[in-house]
Structure formats: structure tokens, C-alpha cells
Structure 1
């Protein structure tokens, strides 16, 4: 029992300097990691809005396949008609147009995706949205713009 007590008394803990060094290192790591994680989150939210637009374009393609003469197609029309389950971050007023070569594009209001940042779709097709390489974390509002669609 005496040997056990002596071993316990001889053990040393961390000194104050060692403890401060660990805290400083953790603080530096946190200062580097927090902004990087914030950018990843903003980029993900931007990509989610683009995904919502792609889903809406697919739904509009279905509507146009069923009704070749459809006019004034909006996100609200797609949701009310059962072509789109959830509009996501898109606004009800966003409109769709079908060109002479049967390419459907989305235009209209902006969609907010993160902390007041917005993305505007102007005659954007599936191809235009898929080739967009813009980072959502970049400063300012974004515009995904294609050629002007002719109804």
C-alpha cells in the first residue's frame, strides 16, 4: 500500500505553460477551420437552390409533355398541378418558357439561399445550370443566365 501511495504522490500533472500552449494551438486551429466551414455551408446552400431549379425544370418538362399548349407556367402552377412536390427556395412567381426547339428555361424572381445572398435565374436551362461553376460563398448576388428563350 505504501508503494502505491508513493507512486501516486510522485505523479505530475500539466504545468500552466503546457496548458496555455495547448489552448493557443486549439485557438489557431479553430481560427482557420471556422471560415472554411462557413464557405462550405454557403456553397452547399447555393447548390441546393440550383438543384431546386433543376427539379422544377424537370417538372415543367413533364407539364409541357402532357400539355403542348401550356401558357404562364410558374412554380405555383407546377406545385398545384402535382408536378412538383416541393418548391424549395424557389418563389411561386418564377416562370418557365418552352423555346421553338422544345428547350425549357426558367426565369423570374430571385431565390435567397444564405444570409441575404440571392441567385437570379434568367432564361436558364438545365445545361446552363449544370455548367455553372460559381461558388456560393463568393461575394454578392449571383445570376445564372442563358440565351433568351423564344416561346
Structure 2
């Protein structure tokens, strides 16, 4: 009888509670390292996209100036209406799909956007 019990015990396969807990702890450590770095990457990419959009708006103002259609304090909406931008540019990372609504000013040969969405 004792030998039958030993044979049955040897045939049992699976993971022990300690092994399962070790795997859970390791996964927790990996998550603790990965989540902050991923959120940092997302924030950096949103800021880079905002900088690129501001540069796009300023370049559209330069094009309007070359076409002699630029007026001081021209808004992003005016640039869209005049055809220098293709539609409204949404602010990245904004859950309400807010668009850029600021104005562009000119100082010498430098164009500067001021308004919402600027990082």
C-alpha cells in the first residue's frame, strides 16, 4: 500500500505554490521597471509632436508672408482658411481633441507662435 502511494506521488506533475509565487514576484518587478519608462517615452513623444506642430504653424506663417498674405497676429484658423494649413491641427495627448487656436507674430524674419498646446 505504501509503495502504491509513493508511485502515485511521483506521477503528480505541476507547480508548487512557491514556484508560482516566485513567478508572480518576478513579473511584478519587471512591471515596476517597465511602466515608468514607457510613460516617459509617451510624454516625450507628445512633447516632440507639439514642437513639430508649432514649427509647422510657424512655417505656414512664413509661407503666408512670402505670399504677402500674412498679417500681424494671424491666427491658426486664418492660416487654415487661407489654405496654408490643411485643416485644424489637434494637440497631441489631449483627450478632448482640442486644436491649436493661438496666433503667430513676426519679429524681423522670425515667426513665433503663441497660444495653447505649446510645450
Length-normalised TM-score, structure 1: 0.60
Please report the RMSD computed on the Cα atoms of aligned residues, expressed in angstroms.
Answer: 2.2
Say which of 99, 106, 116 aligns to 2:112: 106
- Higher helix share goes to which structure? 2
Match of residue 105 from structure 2: 96
Query: Greater Rg, structure 1 or structure 2?
Result: 2
- Cα offset, 1:27, TM superposition: 0.3
- Higher strand share goes to which structure? 1
Length-normalised TM-score, structure 2: 0.74
Match of residue 87 from structure 1: 89
Paired residues of 2:76 and 2:102 also in contact (CA < 8 A): yes
- The runs of 5 or more residues in structure 2 that have no matched partner are 1-6, 92-98
Secondary structure in 2 matching 1:106: strand
Kindly report which structure 2 residues correspond to 1:116-135, keeping only aligned pairs within 5 A, or say none: 119=119
Secondary structure in 2 matching 1:96: strand
- The runs of 5 or more residues in structure 1 that have no matched partner are 1-5, 112-117, 120-151
